[in-house]
Structure 1
Amino acid sequence: MSEIEILFEDGEALVIDKPARLPIETPRKGGPSLEDRIETLRLGFQRDPVPVHRLDTDTSGCLLLARNPKALKRFNAAFENREVTKHYIGLVAGELSEDEGTIALSLSKISSAEKGWRMIAAKKGKPAVTHWKKLGAKDGVTAVAFTPETGRTHQIRIHALAGLGFPLLGDPVYGSGKGAPRTMLHASHLIMPREGKDPVEAAAPLPADFMRLCPEIPDVFEWPTAPEA
Structure 2
Amino acid sequence: MAEQQPYSKVQFLDVGEEDSGQRLDNFLMRHFRKAPKALIYRIIRKGEVRVNKGRSKVSTRLQTGDVVRVPPLRVEQAEKVENSEIPADELRQIEQAIMYEDNDLIVVNKPSGVAVHGGGGLRYGLIEVLRALRPKARRLELVHRIDRDTSGCLLVAKKASVLKALHQQMRDDQFEKRYLAIVSGQWPKNVNKVDLPLKKEHLKDGGWHVKVAQDGKSALSYFELKQHLNGCDLMAVRLKTGRTHQIRVHALANGCPLVGDDRYGDRELNKRFRKLGMKRLALHAHILGFTHPNTEEYMRFEAPLWADFRRLIEEQSL
- Same fold, judged at TM 0.5 (above): yes
- Which one of 266, 290, 297 corresponds to residue 176 of structure 1? 266
TM-score, normalised to structure 1's length? 0.85
Give a deviation string over 1:160-188, Cα, whole Å, max 9, x none: 111x3111001011113412311110001
| Structure 1 letter corresponding to 2:257 | P
Are the equivalent residues in 2 in contact too, given 1:25–1:34 (CA < 8 A)?
yes
Distance 2:155 2:210 in 1: 24
Paired position in structure 2 for 1:211: 310
- 8 Å contact kept, 2:127–2:142: no
Larger mean Cα displacement after TM superposition, 108-117 or 33-42: 108-117
- Asked which structure has the greater RCO (Cα within 8 Å, sep 6+), the reply is 1
**Partner SS state of residue 179, structure 2:** strand
Q: CA deviation at 1:48?
A: 4.0
Q: CA–CA distance in 2 between the matches of 1:136 and 1:213?
A: 12
Question: 1:91 maps to what in 2?
Answer: 182
SS at match of 1:210: helix
- Tell me, in whole angstroms, the C-alpha distance in 1 between the residues paired with 2:296 and 2:205: 49
What is aligned with 2:298? Answer: 199
Task: Give runs of aligned pairs for residues 1-229 of structure 1, distance below 5 A.
Answer: 1=89, 2-4=92-94, 5-42=97-134, 45-98=136-189, 101-111=192-202, 117-162=208-253, 164-177=254-267, 178=270, 179=273, 180-194=278-292, 197-214=296-313
Shift of 1:32: 4.6
Cα distance change on mapping 1:145 and 1:172 into 2, 3 Å? same
Identity within the alignment, %: 34
Q: Structure 1: which 5+ residue stretches go unaligned?
A: 218-229
Q: Which amino acid aligns with 2:289?
A: I
Measured after TM superposition, the shift of residue 79 of structure 1 is 1.1
Structure 2 Cα separation of the partners of residues 116 and 52 of structure 1: 21
Within 1, Cα distance between the matches of 2:223 and 2:120?
A: 34
Shift in Å, 1:40: 4.2
Asked whether the equivalents of residues 7 and 203 of structure 1 are also in contact (C-alpha less than 8 Å), the reply is no
Task: Give SS of 1:182's match.
Answer: coil
- Structure 1 runs of 4+ aligned residues shifted over 6 Å read none
What is the Cα-based RMSD across aligned positions, in Å?
Answer: 2.5
Query: Residues 57-104 of structure 1, C-alpha deviation per residue, up to 9 Å, x if partnerless?
Result: 000010011110000011111112211010100000111242651100
CA shift, 1:200, in A, is 2.8
Larger strand fraction of residues? 1
CA contact (8 A) 1:41 1:49 kept: no
Unpaired runs of 5+ in structure 2? 1-88
Letter in 2 for 1:204: A
Between the two proteins, the alignment pairs up a number of residues equal to 216
Residues 188 and 114 (structure 1), Cα distance of their counterparts in 2 relative to 1, 3 Å cut: closer
For the residues of structure 2 that align with 1:172 and 1:115, how far apart are their CA atoms?
A: 17
Question: TM-score of the superposition, structure 2-length normalised?
Answer: 0.63
Aligned to 1:220: none
Query: Which has more helix, going by share of residues?
Result: 2
Q: How many Å separate the matches in 2 of 1:92 and 1:190?
A: 21
Change (3 A) 1:83 1:169: same
